[in-house]
Amino acid sequence: MLWKTVLLLALADQVLALENGLLRTPPMGWLAWERFRCNIDCDADPKNCISEQLFMEMADRLAEDGWRDLGYTYLNIDDCWIGGRDANGYLVPDPKRFPNGIAFLADYAHSLGLQLGIYEDLGNFTCMGYPGTTLDKVLQDAQTFAKWKVDMLKLDGCFSTPEEQAKGYPMMAAALNATGRPIAFSCSWPAYEGGLPPKVNYSLLADICNLWRNYDDIQDSWSSVLSILDWFADNQDVLQPVAGPGHWNDPDMLLIGNFGLSFEQARAQMALWTVLAAPLFMSTDLRTISAQSVDILQNPLMIKINQDPLGIQGRRILKDKSSIEVFLRPLARDAYAVVFFSRRADMPYRFRSSLAQLGFSGSGVYEAQDVYTGGIISGLQAEANFTVIINPSGVVMWYLYPTGEPEGPQL
Ligand code: GLA
């Protein structure tokens, strides 16, 4: 017991960076919470309750339906998996719902080329009231997750004080490092502190976490998407510079495939999350998802943009009085992602603009590929006007790339 306390204090004292080299691009995968919540009634609802079977079925879908090969490799457990602690204080999963244990699920995920994520909470309880990780349990729980061969930890922040969080998150980062197993670390800390400085120290977070939830939980509605988007755009001067390879802002899960978004809104969430360099965690039933939703989530150019190696988060660069907003994300090879987003509720809007209005200058010639339709718009120059037609609560998204210098005057 004593050596553990000594080690814990030593870890707490060190400012240790999370040197795991993981998540050089935003993580992609599947996370249980938004769609499956804390449904633990396996007697009444065996197909949808939080159980080993649910995760194995989603693992099969990820592996067999093209998701894994596009990069959706994380299979992440959220709240409500814990059964308790054993006589020695070790976490154990609910024995009825996870009869073979978490190591078995991790092996299963790995056998399919996937990675397993798990959830705990720094505090007395998880948000749904299951046993949490108190400060004296940080080291032990990190070792348990490593022993189970877990690949990502989401550490929530219910039922702890700001002081405990300020100690516990760095301590967990150090404890994960000390296991020797690369475990991506998702921190909910900033969401519990209002998401903004001075309470939130983003340079510290970038040192100890691979991603962090900044703001409210997403719910299955368009108003929820908008409130998150507004908060991210309104605070982009703080948030945009702190994201980069290995450390990402997380506006929360994708709703695509669920019940609250129209087709246009689903396309909009995908485009906006991509331009924000956000993690792409689906939270939907992959056993029954529609072909239309699959198309949105499996768009290869969208994924290429989300996973751009520069890892620069985009910004809202224009808020037009017509209720059109434009977001821009710089990409590798002098390319850009541009999202034209309509907040209108009347009819498809003809938005007239130019690259100059979006901040481009010089004589370069660009070509744009429409990310959803595949259409090509060529010969774009700074001063030339163009028109995009944007559906209500929808987007037009461009992959914009230079096509070389314009030809000089003909002699
Ligand atoms: C918090 C988190 C959610 C989810 C729930 C689980 O609200 O922000 O993402 O993990 O807890 O109880």
- CB of 121 closer than 6 A to ligand 1? no
Residue 411 lies in a domain: no
Structural domain of 273: 2-306
**Distance from the alpha carbon of residue 55 to the mean position of ligand 1, in angstroms:** 18
Residue located nearest, by CA, to atom 6 of ligand 1: 79
CATH number, domain at 382?
Answer: 2.60.40.1180
Domain assignment of residue 410, yes or no? no
217, 250, 283, best to mutate for ligand 1 pocket (most atoms within 8 Å of CB): 217
Q: Does any domain span residue 280?
A: yes
Ligand 1 atom closest to Cα of residue 127: 12
Closest CA to 208 of 178, 163, 173: 173
* Residue 237 and residue 359 in one domain: no
User: Quick one: 35 and 136 in the same domain?
Assistant: yes
User: Nearest Cα to 243, choosing from 267, 264, 217, 273?
Assistant: 273
Q: Are residues 129 and 172 in the same domain?
A: yes
Q: How many Å apart are CA 391 and CA 399, to the nearest integer?
A: 19
Residue 323 lies in a domain: yes
Asked whether 159 and 132 are in contact (CB, 8 A), the reply is: yes
* 156 catalytically annotated: yes
CATH code where residue 51 lies? 3.20.20.70
Establish whether residue 128 lines the binding site of ligand 1, counting it when its CB lies within 6 angstroms of any ligand atom: yes
Peptide bond preceding 198: is omega within 30 degrees of 0, i.e. cis? yes
Cβ–Cβ < 8 Å for 317, 355: no
- For the CA of 191, the closest atom of ligand 1 is 8
Is 93 in the same domain as 143? yes
- Do 166 and 40 share a structural domain? yes
Q: Is 230 a catalytic residue?
A: no
The alpha carbon of 374 and the centre of ligand 1 are apart by a number of angstroms equal to 37
258 Cα to the center of ligand 1, angstroms: 18
Give CA–CA dist 119/93, Å, rounded.
11
Q: For ligand 1, pick from 156, 158, 188, 189 the residue to mutate: most ligand atoms within 8 Å of CB.
A: 156
CB of 188 within 6 A of ligand 1: the answer is: yes
> Which of 306, 323, 339 is at the close of a domain?
306
Enter the pTM of the model: 0.95
Does any domain span residue 117? yes
Give yes or no for residue 130 CB within 6 A of ligand 1: no
Q: Is residue 11 located within the same domain as residue 45?
A: yes
- The rounded Å distance from CA 364 to ligand 1 centre is 47
- 217 CB near ligand 1 (under 6 Å): yes
Task: Tell how far the Cα of 127 is from the centroid of ligand 1, in angstroms.
Answer: 6
The pLDDT value recorded for residue 4 is: 53
**Ligand 1 pocket residue status of 34, Cβ below 6 Å:** no
Residue 43 CB partners (closer than 8 Å, separation 6+): none
Looking at the fold, whether 145 and 204 belong to one and the same domain comes out as yes
Q: Are strands 365-370 and 395-402 parallel, antiparallel or unpaired?
A: antiparallel
Count of alpha carbons within 13 angstroms of residue 239, beta-carbon side: 30
- Is the domain of 333 the same as that of 217? no
Boundary residue ending a domain (272, 306, 340): 306
Return the H-helix or E-strand segment holding 84: strand 82-85
Task: Kindly state whether residues 171 and 73 are assigned to the same domain.
Answer: yes
Query: How many domains does the structure of the chain reveal?
Result: 2
Domain end residue (candidates: 278, 306, 334): 306
**Do residues 24 and 139 both lie within one domain?**
yes
Residue 407 lies in a domain: no
Q: Are residues 30 and 176 in the same domain?
A: yes
Give residue 16's pLDDT.
56
- 120 and 222 assigned to the same domain: yes
pLDDT tens digits in sequence order for the chain, 411 residues long: 455 554 554 554 444 567 799 999 999 999 999 999 999 999 999 999 999 999 999 999 999 999 999 999 999 999 999 999 999 999 999 999 999 999 999 999 999 999 999 999 999 999 999 999 999 999 999 999 999 999 999 999 999 999 999 999 999 999 999 999 999 999 999 999 999 999 999 999 999 999 999 999 999 999 999 999 999 999 999 999 999 999 999 999 999 999 999 999 999 999 999 999 999 999 999 999 999 999 999 999 999 999 999 999 999 999 999 999 999 999 999 999 999 999 999 999 999 999 999 999 999 999 999 999 999 999 999 999 999 999 999 999 999 999 975 444 444
